[in-house]
Every structure is written in C-alpha cells, then in structure tokens.
Structure 1
Amino acid sequence: MAKNITALALASLLTLPLIGCVTTFKSQIANPESFTIDSETYQATGKSQRIKSIVLHYTVSDNERSIQLLTKGKVSSHYLIMDNDDDKIYSLVPENQRAWHAGDGSFAGRTILNDTSIGIEIVNIGIQPQYLSALKDDELDYHPYEHYALFDELQIKKVAQLVQDIAKRYDISPKNIIGHSDLAPSRKIDPGAKFPWQRLYKEYGIGAWYDEGDKRYFTKEVEFTTPTILEIKQAFRDYGYQINDSDEWDKASRDVIYAFQLHFRPQQPTGKMDIETYAILKALNKKYAGRDDFY
C-alpha cells in the first residue's frame, strides 16, 4: 500500500510544472490585440531605398487637357508642373504609391520602372504644330532640335527645386535622373531636345553630364581607333541604355542613339552614330562608372 501511495504522489508532483507552464503561456497570448511590432531591437543591413530614379516627361498638351489625362485617364504621374505664372507644383500621386507614367522600358538594368521611380510631367506641346508632319514630308528619320517647343523659365525653376528635393531624399544616382526617351527610346522622345539637361546640371547639380576635357580626349582617341558596332553598343549598355546586340545600326539601335543625343547632344540629334556621340558616351562612362545601385 505504501508503495502505491508513493507512486501516486510522485505522479501528482510530475504533473504540477506542466499545468503551471500551460497556464502561464495562455496568459501571455490571451489577447491577440496586444501584439506589438518591434522595429527597434533588430535592423537588417541588406536594404536600400525603393525609389531608384526620377523620370521626366512632357505632356504633349495644354494645362487643362494635361490635368484631365493625368487625373481621369489610365496614365498618371506623381507631379505635374503646368505653365501657369504661379508658385504651384501639383502632387497627383503620393510618392509611396505607384504612378502609371513610365510604361514598358528599361534603364540601368531595371525594368517596370513604375515600381521604382518618381514621375514628373511638365506641360509642353513637344513638337511644334507646324512640324508634326515633317518626318513624312521631308523624309526625315528624327525630329531636329528646332522642331521642339521651349519650356517656360518658371517651369525649369520648379523642376530644379522638385528634382533636387527628391534626389536628396532618396539618394538617387545622377545617372538615374532620366527622360522618358532614355528608358523607352523606340516609343518616346520626351522631354525632348529643348529640355535643358546641361543647364540643370551646371546650375543646380541635377543629373549627369560629361566633362568637356574627357570628351576631347576620347574624340582624339576614337580618331585613331575603329570601335566595332558591338563595342559601341556595349558602351551604351554600360551606361544604362537597353540596346540589342545585332551587328548593325538597325532602326531600334538608331532610336537609342537618338534618345542619347536628345539628352547629351540635343542641338544635333540625328540618330546616327558619329565620333562626337561616341566620345560623349565614353566620357560619361568614365565619370559615372560604378555609380548605380542595382539592389
């Protein structure tokens, strides 16, 4: 009998800690609404800003129609800069949301740029009306500088302030402040030849631009060498442009040349590869090598 009592007592003692543990655990999670998110104790180092680029556009329209298109249609942008004589920059889509401004394209190894970019639309008609049919009439491949419409001075100042602020907040690489034509050269030509990329770089520190000394050096170098088409196309890819690997200057390849010239040699955008264009490309690659964050 004593042996049975001892065994029963021991069994009872062994069950007590288990009952206690279950009771304590239940009391800690009894109310799911009490859970909290701890964002202070641990932090990952493998991260970066989601916004990687700023894409500049023109609207090919006036103020009223631009508002309608960008607020009621299937396209949108984060910001709209109209040509009114006022101090307003219009925010149409919050920066933490996705605007539908970029469409199909690629730059600096990134596709679906709507996901990782801020879009800025500037009211401007683009090609002046008298030149809209010029490509057919004159059998031109691409619009020259004089066909494009000027931007208002106030618009440029607004662009400068806005882009400076966004680039600083998101630590955006100068190379990744681009035009719509840079990411979609076979579809788009905006913001066009008269968008003042060089002025924005020199006066406001916005975007990328080549050093004149490097351009002169590479101009002389190219005169004594004969780069192949594939080597030139690789240089375009090194900078960020998406271009095919065919061994010819087909229409798609010339579209890339034209987009590059609109940005970096806007007064002579021909769509044809020449020594000056290649020297500018080489100078840019020298200056901005390794400046992109692909993660």
Structure 2
Amino acid sequence: MFPCAFFFIRPFVRRTATSPSGPRPGAARADSRPSPPPWRAALSACLLLALGACASYDPSKLDIDRSIQAKSQNSRVEMVVLHYTSSGNEAALKTLSQLNVSSHYLVTNAPRPHVYQLVDESRRAWHAGVSAWYERSDVNSASIGIEIVNDGRRRDGTWAPYPAVQIKVVAALLKDIIRRHQIKPRNIVGHSDVAPQRKIDPGPLFPWRELARQGIGRWYDEDLARRYALQFQQQGLPDAAWIQGALRRAGYDTPSSGVLDEATRNVIAAFQMHYRPSDYGGEPDAQTLGILKALP
C-alpha cells in the first residue's frame, strides 16, 4: 500500500496577554477565541479528502487509462498462410479445435461454405510449424492461418479441385484481413512457400493467379517473364548460386550451397506450384527462372 503523508496542524489560538497583576486594561479575556481564518477550513477539507483517497486505494485493482493511443504502432499480423485440410468438414473442425494444431479460420466446402473463426486474430495459432519467410522464422507469431477444407493430393496422385463458391468466400475473407492489417501482397503465401521442405499445401490447383487479379497476393509481369525466359533459352541458364539467391530475394528459405541439391529443388518445386503449377517437378528451366526474375 502506498504511504500517505499526514499533517498535523496546531490549532491557531490567540491567547490573552497577561501580567502579574492580571490582564491589561482593554485586553481580550483569556477564554475568548476568534473565528478561525478561511484558509484553515479549506486546508482541513483538503486533508480529509487526501486521507480518504489513501484509505480507499487498492493497487490490486487496475485502473488503466486507454483514452490516449500512440501514433507509432502497427498490426502484429504481417502475413496470411493458406492451407488445405486433407480431410472433410467435421474431421477438420475437430482436429483444429481439439488437437495440438489450430488455425485462425476454417472455410468448409459445403454448398454454402461456412467460415469458423477458431482463434482470435490477436492470438497466436499453431498452423505454420517450422517455417520461414523473408528470413523470419517464427511465422506463427506474425501470421493469420486459414485452413480450407480440401482433400489435397489423392491416393491416385490427382488433386482435389477447389469449388468456385469456396474460393469466393476465401477471397472475401482475405480482402477483409488484408484491409484491416495492411498486409503486403508478397506476404499472402501458401504453407508450401514457408515450409518447402515438408509441405505441399494448398497445392497446384489453388487459384493464385485468379486471386492476384482481384488484388490478392503477389503475381509477376507475364510479358516480362516471357522475355526473360527467351533470354535464358538463348544465353543459357544461370548457375545454382544465382538461382538460390533469386529464390531468397523472393522470400523463400533457400540453401546457400551453390549446388542444385535436393533441398534447393524442393524450394523450386514450391515456387513452381505457386507461380507455374502446370509443371512443379523442381527443375530450374527457362520459364521458371523467367518468372522468378520478373517477380516484383
């Protein structure tokens, strides 16, 4: 408890001047007391108020003033990571709400897709796992995760399509999140973009190009990419070190080995799945590198 200062004021009393023979002629009687001056009453009132405030103060009951907000601030959300569930609506909802994994949103594949918010945007969901983007390793702390109900890659090697109505719902959700958090286009990514060594969702059928035409996410200048691809065809492909550096500049967590190893090919495959989904075998061909060079 905070200490309070107590003040004691000695009463102001004018006493009668006396002499051995008694009071001087004309002097006031010893028991006469004049009215207290006005300042004394005001001071007493202030002291009573101060003592009352000290007595009622409880530091365990916070009284936080939020009337003034700092100008220098922004959202903790810098990214959106898109996933597919590899399961149906009920199984996905149970997994994301009851097990050791979560996402901020789940979009079902019902005829009228339902959007569940499972984690508040101010809190950290567990959706990205071990991942990185533009050298930021703790993606969960800076991102919103959206799970989309989709079977993903089937046992026969084919991919489950995304219904048009589901994509419309996803697009509306993304536009709202992007507007509220001012997220940059390059930071609208798939799980495979931030974890290319272990993830392939949302897969090659996710319509990145269609969303980019609506102002959602990053895309490349297609005419410029074709010109760059022609140059690579005529002049030859750059070495592995150039490719690795270009992928890192595009945000991907890429080895710096200078060798076209398996890990680098996994990153190339993730890049292709996002920007050239017709062929995502991880081979650094002229078309892929033309797109990479044309990427803003």
TM-score with structure 1 length normalisation?
A: 0.78
Aligned to 1:174: 185
Aligned to 1:65: 91
Q: Does the CA contact (< 8 Å) of 2:244 and 2:258 recur in 1?
A: no
Aligned to 1:189: 200
Deviations 1:234-258 (A, max 9, x none): 1111110000111211111111000
Aligned to 2:141: 115
CA RMSD of superposed structures (Å):
2.3
Aligned to 1:43: 70
What is the distance in 2 between the residues matched to 1:226 and 1:193?
25
Q: Name the SS for the 1:111 alignment partner.
A: coil
Q: Name the SS for the 1:245 alignment partner.
A: coil
TM superposition shift of 1:228 = 2.1
Q: Name the SS for the 2:162 alignment partner.
A: coil
Amino acid at match of 2:228: F
What is the distance in 2 between the residues matched to 1:28 and 1:105?
57
Alignment of 1:30-179 (within 5 A): 30=54, 31-33=57-59, 36-39=63-66, 43=70, 45=72, 47-131=73-157, 147-179=158-190
Select 2:223's aligned residue among 205, 213, 219.
213
Aligned to 1:16: none
Where does structure 2 lack aligned partners over 5 or more consecutive residues?
1-46
What is the distance in 2 between the residues matched to 1:159 and 1:277?
27
The structure 1 segments of at least 4 consecutive aligned residues displaced by more than 3 Å after TM superposition are 26-29, 32-42
Q: Does 2:257 match 1:246?
A: yes
Q: Does 2:281 match 1:274?
A: no
TM superposition shift of 1:221 = 3.2
Deviations 1:103-132 (A, max 9, x none): 00101221111111100001111112322x
Identity %: 42
Deviations 1:196-223 (A, max 9, x none): 0001111x21101101122123223333
The structure with more radius of gyration: 2
What is the distance in 2 between the residues matched to 1:117 and 1:257?
23
Aligned to 2:28: none
Higher RCO by CA contacts (8 Å cutoff, separation 6 or greater): 1
What is the distance in 2 between the residues matched to 1:107 and 1:166?
19
Amino acid at match of 1:251: E
Aligned to 1:291: none
Amino acid at match of 1:74: N
Amino acid at match of 1:220: L
**Greater share of helix residues, 1 or 2?**
1
Against the structure 1 CA distance between its residues 242 and 27, is the aligned structure 2 distance closer, same or farther, given a 3 Å change threshold? farther
Q: Name the SS for the 2:82 alignment partner.
A: strand
Equivalent pairs, count: 247
Q: Does 2:257 match 1:263?
A: no
Deviations 1:154-188 (A, max 9, x none): 11011100001001100001000000000000110
Against the structure 1 CA distance between its residues 73 and 35, is the aligned structure 2 distance closer, same or farther, given a 3 Å change threshold? closer
Q: Name the SS for the 1:90 alignment partner.
A: strand
Against the structure 1 CA distance between its residues 115 and 254, is the aligned structure 2 distance closer, same or farther, given a 3 Å change threshold? same
Where does structure 1 lack aligned partners over 5 or more consecutive residues?
1-22, 132-146, 288-295
Q: Does the CA contact (< 8 Å) of 2:107 and 2:113 recur in 1?
A: no
Deviations 1:21-63 (A, max 9, x none): xx89x76983255874445557352x33200000000001111
What is the distance in 2 between the residues matched to 1:266 and 1:190?
12
Q: Does the CA contact (< 8 Å) of 2:104 and 2:118 recur in 1?
A: yes
